Amino acid sequence: MYDTDKRKLLSALSHGAIFFSTTFVSVGIPIAILLVSDDPVVKENAKESINFHFNVWFYGGILAALFFLFGWLVLPLLLLGPLAGIGYLLHWGLTIWAITHVFSNPDTPFRYPYIFRFL
């Protein structure tokens, strides 16, 4: 039997690491938790968090490339701004949802909807 409080803390820390920064530090925490923990639920939450980080970086890179390529045009700029805002809200909203889920249901790993899973 695994410690429920430890499971909640490590799972929430995996998902909440994005609040520390959006650089490699934020993905380093779930990677460290994945390597250190022996709890299968914590490992699944850490993997899901890593996958979510990679998706955020991937879609952010696409938006940045589109802005770089077409940002000098007025029409694409009007489209990219709302897309970036929606992405920002989804990013933070899904992270808060994940943290809430691991505290309310610690025995079930959280799965982000509509992301590509690399791990």
Residue range 91-117: mean pLDDT, rounded: 95
Per the CB < 8 A criterion, the answer to whether 110 and 53 are in contact is no
Residue range 65-83: mean pLDDT, rounded: 71
* Rg of the chain over all Cα atoms, to the nearest angstrom: 16
CA angle 52, 108, 101 (to 5 degrees): 65
pLDDT at residue 41, as a whole number: 97
Helix 4-16 crosses helix 74-104 at what angle (to 10 degrees)? 170
Residue range 65-90: mean pLDDT, rounded: 75
Cα–Cα distance for residue pair 67/75, rounded to 1 Å: 11
pLDDT band at 63 (very low <50, low <70, confident <90, very high): confident
| Residue 17 per-residue DSSP state | G
CA angle 119, 29, 18 (to 5 degrees): 90
Residue range 40-53: mean pLDDT, rounded: 96
pLDDT at 76 over 70: no
Q: 114-118 long-range CB contacts below 8 Å, 24 or more apart?
A: 115/51, 115/52, 115/55, 116/51, 116/54, 116/55, 116/58, 117/48, 117/51, 118/50, 118/51, 118/54
| pTM across the whole model | 0.87
